[in-house]
Amino acid sequence: MIAANTLAGATTREQILRVARELIQTRSYLGFSFQDVADQVGIRKASLYHHFPTKEALGIEVLREATQAFKDWTAAKPRAPEAALESYFRMYRNGLHAGAGVCPAGALAPGWDCIDEDLRRAVRDLRNTQILWLGGVLGALMPAGEVGASAAYVFAACQGALLSARMTGQVEDFDEAIEQLNLSLAR
């Protein structure tokens, strides 16, 4: 549950999005309801419909915000390729709360057949944004022919490391997986 001081000062819409993102990352998209969001925000369920007509619309906006946050993160501070990759791993570890949560995009994968195409597109957009950025970073670190597959591999390994750490509740499981990923990249 999000602490009340985290929501203080935020608009109702911002509160809804924060709560929904946390629920997606900790319970999965299929593991929460509009009522869960309303209860944590402290509003009536009917009030959610004023901001988001459907759960899918809420999920899409959470993913759009996550995609924009990633773009903002990559633009905020230019980094050398090695430092950028290490920052990416730290962003997964700390920003996505390894051991306690998963990536909002990854949290939708288990219910893939139960979500609509617009929501799937938002998941793919977040994935593709990260893979494009990883391709640029890895392109500076390894031979050009390996970059596309390596970017997808790094993304998938980070997602898997988050899931593994979530299963055990141990951030150390994430760290061990990323250590092996680093060894495999042969930079």
Beta-carbon contacts of 1 under 8 Å, excluding residues fewer than 6 positions away, are 22, 40
Q: Into how many domains does the chain fold?
A: 1
Q: Look at residue 106 and tell me if it is in a domain.
A: yes
Q: Look at residue 19 and tell me if it is in a domain.
A: no
**CATH number for the domain that contains residue 114:** 1.10.357.10
Q: Look at residue 154 and tell me if it is in a domain.
A: yes
Q: Look at residue 159 and tell me if it is in a domain.
A: yes
Q: Quick check: 38 and 23 in contact, CB under 8 A?
A: no
| CA gap 4, 9 in Å, rounded | 10
Q: Look at residue 5 and tell me if it is in a domain.
A: no
Q: Look at residue 36 and tell me if it is in a domain.
A: no
pLDDT in tens, the chain (187 residues): 554 445 678 899 999 999 999 999 999 999 999 999 999 999 999 999 999 999 999 999 999 999 999 999 999 988 899 999 999 999 999 988 999 999 999 999 999 999 999 999 999 999 999 999 999 999 998 876 778 789 999 999 999 999 999 999 999 999 999 999 999 987 5
Number of Cβ within a 10 Å radius of residue 27: 14
pLDDT value, residue 2: 53
Q: Domain of residue 59: give its range.
A: 55-185
pLDDT value, residue 5: 46
Q: Look at residue 61 and tell me if it is in a domain.
A: yes
Q: Look at residue 31 and tell me if it is in a domain.
A: no
